[in-house]
Amino acid sequence: MRRTIVTLIAAVLLAACGTSRDKQIEAISQHELQLSTIDIGTADEAVAQMLGLYRQFAADFPDDSLAPVYLMRAADVCVNTGQADQAVLLLDSIIALYPGFDDIAGCCFLRGYALETAGRYDEAREAYTYFADTYPDHYLADDARKTLPYIGMSPEEMFDAIMNAASANNLAAK
């Protein structure tokens, strides 16, 4: 009899957790849909709520396969809303806590971009180099390698560097 009661309580608790998980996923889906219809740059409160939902899911269900997905989405939102340093922290936590995550390579690349966006150029170079060396066959590896010489340059400096390189290649070809 006692075993039956314990089993029943465990089943109720598991069902409650599943319900909570499903409710959180539904809330995240609804909020993502809402954010997709507005300018994310002008939606500070909605963005903060979205980030809170992502983080809460990962805190409540750290072993769920959606936890690193939601944390990566949170990092992406942070980069796109001027919170690049916060994005780096989120990406570092994904890399540390979920090394088997299917898109760990994407996290590493996004980390380089977040560092670059934050103006942390030396760290960005290290991150892009690590990414390109660790994931040489990834479809973004060439982008990372090509980005390295231009990190920290203004658009004008980048344009001049590209034009100078093109001129040097044309002279070398003649």
Domain chopping of the chain, boundaries? 2-168
C-alpha dist (Å) from residue 39 to 35, 51, 58, 106: 8, 16, 26, 25
Q: Which pLDDT does position 28 carry in this prediction?
A: 95
C-alpha dist (Å) from residue 156 to 17, 145, 152, 162: 54, 20, 11, 10
- For 14-36, the pLDDT digits (tens) are 444 457 999 999 999 999 998 88
**55 has a pLDDT exceeding 80:** yes
**Residue bearing the bigger pLDDT, 136 or 173:** 136
Domain 2-168 fold is: 1.25.40
80: part of which helix (H) or strand (E)? helix 66-80
- For 99-112, the pLDDT digits (tens) are 999 999 999 999 99
pTM of the prediction?
A: 0.81
**Residue bearing the bigger pLDDT, 59 or 15:** 59
Q: Which pLDDT does position 148 carry in this prediction?
A: 94
**131 has a pLDDT exceeding 80:** yes
